[in-house]
Amino acid sequence: MTTTPEPEPDEDAGYASHLDEHGNLKIIERHMIVPPELAGLRLDHFVKTQIVRLSRTKIQGIIETQLTRDDGFKPKASTSVAAGEHYVIRRPAPPEPPCPRTFTVVHEDARMRIIDKPAGLPVHASAKFYFNTLTRVLSERYPAEPELQICHRLDRETSGVLVLARDKEAAAFLKDAIGRKDRTTKQYLAVVHDQPPWDTEAVLDTPLRLATEADDTRLPHVRMLPDPRGLEAITRVIVEQRAGTYALVRCTLVTGRQHQIRAHLAAAGFPIVGDKLYTHGDDAFIEYCDEGMTPELAAMFVIPRHALHAARITLPHPEGGTVTGAAPLPADLAQLLI
């Protein structure tokens, strides 16, 4: 169970996104084509290479009830697969956690869009989200634009600006520009605990690396750790507003490491409000993943999502010059500063 920010009453929250216009369950399809190097495997072993999280028993049940070859042939788990064969898993869509499925366009032209993604809306599909994703919402909102592509990503809980390309050439150009920090400037707003002593712009430059099983953490391969031996990570940060026990800081990325802003602010002693991973320790994060948002965790986290917002992006335009997209601080974060 996972709790997401409650949508406004007039928003599409996706409660019925798994149903068709007649109220019947939609069908989710997963397509798998056998590469030459996997030819000769038993079908159940091949499927395991494609969906590694499933047990063999679960896979055999899927083969029996949900899987066919694209020509309609119904294989057995022991069937040997051949290179180029196309298998399809079809399953009824389950209900998904509700989340906002609306967004605002802050810049639009013939080659690209910049949107303001709401907190709680995942960018891509996962184990829990398929129809309640930005990818799916874009296909519904712009059905005549098959080449529309998302050029980078934001965490589900992070709100703010996200760049979309409207054709393949623009996608290649924009993805390259975003990947090169000397060409693109990203600024985030974060509400942090306590009052940072920065009266002018500060530079957080602690190197970061991904935790491993050898570290003192229950979350290897999830949490980023400060480490002098880690990768270079630089964030410029300045305080924009102070309010009681919270402060609003503007962060400009110089590098773009995983969880960089969240890890840097936590390492500096001013963690982001609502950040389940970096503010309250491994146990709280694991409890949230296992139990959902209990009343005790809700009181601890203060707000249902981490208080991080992608406020501004400036990058080259595919046809020359630069373009800037900006998104205002959302109401749930602004409320913390009253």
Q: Which residues are catalytic?
A: 155
Least Cα distance to 254 among 201, 200, 180, 327 occurs for: 180
Non-local (6+) Cβ contacts of 313 within 8 A are: 114, 161, 163, 184, 185, 186, 187, 324, 325
Q: Domain 27-92 in CATH: superfamily? A: RNA-binding S4 domain (3.10.290.10)
38-75: per-residue pLDDT in tens? 999 999 999 999 998 789 899 999 999 999 999 999 99
Cα gap 286→98, rounded to integer Å: 21
Place of tokens 């798994």: 18
Least Cα distance to 53 among 128, 123, 120, 121 occurs for: 128
159-215: per-residue pLDDT in tens? 999 999 999 999 999 999 999 889 999 999 999 999 999 989 999 999 999 999 999
Mean pLDDT of the 1-6 span? 37
The tokens describing 262, both together, are 């969240």
Q: Domain 104-337 in CATH: superfamily? A: Pseudouridine synthase (3.30.2350.10)
Cα gap 302→275, rounded to integer Å: 10
Task: Look at residue 79 in the predicted model and tell me its pLDDT.
Answer: 97
Reply yes or no on whether the pLDDT at 292 is more than 70.
yes
CB 125 within 8 Å of CB 137? no
CB burial of residue 34 (10 Å; 0-12, 13-18, 19+): buried
Tell whether the torsion through CA atoms of 96, 102, 106 and 111 is positive or negative.
Answer: positive
Banded pLDDT at 253 (limits 50, 70, 90)? very high
Residue ranges covered by each domain of the chain? 27-92, 104-337
Task: Look at residue 2 in the predicted model and tell me its pLDDT.
Answer: 32
Cα gap 145→143, rounded to integer Å: 6
Cα gap 39→269, rounded to integer Å: 53
Banded pLDDT at 303 (limits 50, 70, 90)? very high
DSSP code of residue 272: B
The tokens describing 54, both together, are 């499933």
Task: Look at residue 4 in the predicted model and tell me its pLDDT.
Answer: 40
Banded pLDDT at 5 (limits 50, 70, 90)? very low
